[in-house]
Amino acid sequence: MAPDMDSALGADVLPEGGVRFAVWAPRVETMVLELLGSQVNEHPMARSMDGIHSVTVPHASAGTDYWYRVDAETRRPDPRSRYQAHGVHGPSQIVDPADFSWTDEDWIGIELDDYVIYEIHVGTFTPEGTFLSAIAKLDHLVALGITAVELMPVAAFPGDRNWGYDGVHLFAPQVTYGGPEGLRAFVNACHRRGLVVILDVVYNHLGPEGNYLHAFGPYFTTKYKSPWGEPLNFDDEDSPQVRRYFRDNAVYWLEEFHIDSLRLDAVHAIQDLGARHVLEELNQSFHFAADRLRKKCYLIAESDLNDSRVINPPHRGGHGFDSQWLDDFHHAMHVVLTGRDQAFLGDYRGLPDLKKCLQNGYVYTGQYSAHRRRFHGNSSTQSLDRQFVIFNQNHDQVANTCEGERLVQIVGRDLFHTAALVLLASPFVPMLFMGEEWGEMRPFEYFTDFGDENLARAVTRGRRKEHKGFLGSGRKFQDPQDRSTFTNSRIDWEAPSQPDHAGTLRLYRDLIALRRANPALGVGGRQDSPIEIDEDARWIRQNRKGTDDSLAEILVNFSESRVRVPVSPASQDLELKIWTRDPIYSPATSATPLPARLRAGGREQSLTLVEMDGPSAAIYMTEKRKSS
């Protein structure tokens, strides 16, 4: 008999009163619902032929804690718990989504092309580390020019501090962040300010502590291997309800929390050999729900496969993601800036690969990767520019590649500013990591708070081993379980008041404003944007053209010396818009000013070369602007 895929699962408050409880648990023959604090607290549940246990309790209401008793004595939280108010090991709590008063009825989202993303970790974004305290910082993001806020995972995890990738209750926002009420308030506040909310979700594994899905059904499989424990069962026996669990979760965030877009963590670790991949199925469900709600919502993948099938539509044999993180940009840029060659960075050649990335997308398109010891990637020339999200920093790359150090600490402020201009003048969707906009100096480390001592020790050992390839610069290893590793990772909101940080913040604001105002600097047109480089002199020149025929010339010097960058023949005069060594951005540095204009070739006083001091970058543009 085919499984019942229509019955609602979870604890749902009914319009007429009472709560219906339903859970898929084919491994359990008899199940009892326990309501805590109720006069009648034990309610036997009816079991269907396909393992769905259900019961309706007329006197149950929101705010009540409950357990599922899976045998005579064993109590387990609900696999679809909306709230773990007492932590991942405690009872679940009934939540009525209708209790929240939304004010975003007219919000429909924005186009992916208009995303300027800002990634935050809720626990370290503010001293309080909550959704509500983060609301107070949203006006800063609006002033910066950000249009999309990306939250690292918020699904309930063990302890009170974690990156979020060890979540075990995927429907329950973390209690220490403020739970479901806090997340709804945060999303509502974002929409009130015109900000999109992207949520990072993890569908490739569950965390090792507080994961009770084994007690209910075959959520996991032994068919495959995973670096994070047992892989999820997406294609083995009894997998339809497992697939549904994750499909429903994606739609849940959209419907009950008004989340705009999802970023799926490490989709390359989601293994499914079925005829229709679970990711394609999930994409279809998500976009069907978005269409029904008449909202502009997108799915963004993290993938290290360099496989365009991830972002190709299903009719071209793809999974249908709207976009993906493009690690190649970070890796090529990091090698340009630092010259490092540890681990996977050894695969990148610096400027030539940065040029290839800006023109093509993937750097690895089928050539041999020495790090992987195999051929890697395929062509992305047919992919759209909006299908790539790029960054100079993110949570992974700061904590892993840079041993917790921020990029500005490693390369200095001039190179840091130079890289910022390249990022924000690119044809792809740009993303910043919290604090980057003022050159945050505090580290961002990997931290956990596991209660199982054996697990905690194993995580510390594993982290040390995993990090070995990047250790060696004299920095002390930071134990993930040490609370100071977490508290030291909080960003410093006092920093922007200092001159150097204030200059960096002004640069980021001006770059984002210039990008958003000029079609020549927005998403699109990479294949019509010629790029020239000089690998020895370490300069790069890119020309971009807007849909309104506006022109931009981007000149970049990555070297420590003065270089002469040739100017491309231009059909119009170009005016200097931003120069990273301008004293308003770098008050502590000095450099020979750049010419204010580039004259068209052949005219009197035309320039053929621009001399650029030290690490610096500039944007010259025509005067055409987007109509507002």
* pLDDT tens readout for residues 12-68: 999 999 999 999 999 999 999 999 987 779 999 999 999 999 999 999 999 999 999
Is the pLDDT at 181 greater than 90, yes or no?
Answer: yes
At 469 the pLDDT is 58
| pLDDT confidence band for 607 (50 / 70 / 90) | low
Residue in this structure with the two tokens 């390839």, named with its chain if needed: 469
Distance CA 489, CA 472 (A): 21
Are 419 and 407 contacting, i.e. CB atoms less than 8 angstroms apart? yes
> What are residue 169's DSSP bridge partners?
156
Question: What mean pLDDT is predicted for residues 308-317?
Answer: 95
Residues ≥6 apart with Cβ < 8 Å to 52: 4, 7, 9, 22, 23, 24, 25
Q: Mind listing the pLDDT tens digit for each residue in 272-312?
A: 999 999 999 999 999 999 999 999 999 999 999 999 999 99
302 in active site: yes
Listed range (71-80, 403-412, 583-592) with the worst mean pLDDT: 583-592
φ, ψ of residue 477 to 5 degrees: the values are -65, 130
Beta strands in 342-490 (DSSP E): 368-369, 374-375, 388-391, 429-433
Q: Which CATH number applies to 530-621? A: 2.60.40.1180
Q: Which of 209, 302, 307, 396 is catalytic?
A: 302
Domain definitions of the chain by residue range: 10-96, 112-504, 530-621
- Residue 475 has a pLDDT of 66
pLDDT score of 282: 98
pLDDT of residue 257: 98
524 contact partners, CB below 8 Å, separation of at least 6:
113, 384, 385, 386, 427, 547
Average pLDDT over residues 367-384: 96
Mean pLDDT to the nearest integer, 590-616? 80
Q: What is the pLDDT of residue 37?
A: 86
* 250-282: pLDDT as tens digits: 999 999 999 999 999 999 999 999 999 999 999
Fold exhibited by the domain 112-504:
TIM Barrel (3.20.20)
Is the pLDDT reported for residue 628 higher than 50?
no
Query: How far, in Å, CA of 265 to CA of 142, rounded?
Result: 26
> CA nearest 164: which of 393, 447, 429?
447
What was the pLDDT predicted at 331? 98
Element containing residue 537 per DSSP (H, E): none
Res 191: pLDDT: 98
Tokens at residue 278, please? Answer: 């679970």
Q: What does each C-alpha distance from 559 to 400, 536, 556 come to in angstroms?
A: 26, 9, 9
**pLDDT tens, 97-123?**
999 999 999 999 999 999 999 999 999
User: Mean pLDDT across the stretch 452-479?
Assistant: 78
| Mean pLDDT rounded to a whole number for the chain | 94
**Domain 10-96 shares a fold with domain 530-621:** yes
Ramachandran quadrant class, 444 (left: phi over 0; alpha: psi -120 to 50; beta: rest): beta
Active site residue 347: no
Instruction: Band the pLDDT of 590: cuts 50, 70, 90.
Output: confident
Residue 503's pLDDT is what? 97
CATH number assigned to the domain covering 10-96: 2.60.40.10
- Amino acid (1-letter code) at residue 218: P
Name the active-site residue from 248, 260, 265, 327.
Answer: 265
> How far is it, in rounded angstroms, from Cα 380 to Cα 306?
8
- CA 53 vs. chain centroid, Å, equals 36
pLDDT at 527: 86
**In the beta sheet, which residues pair with residue 11?**
21
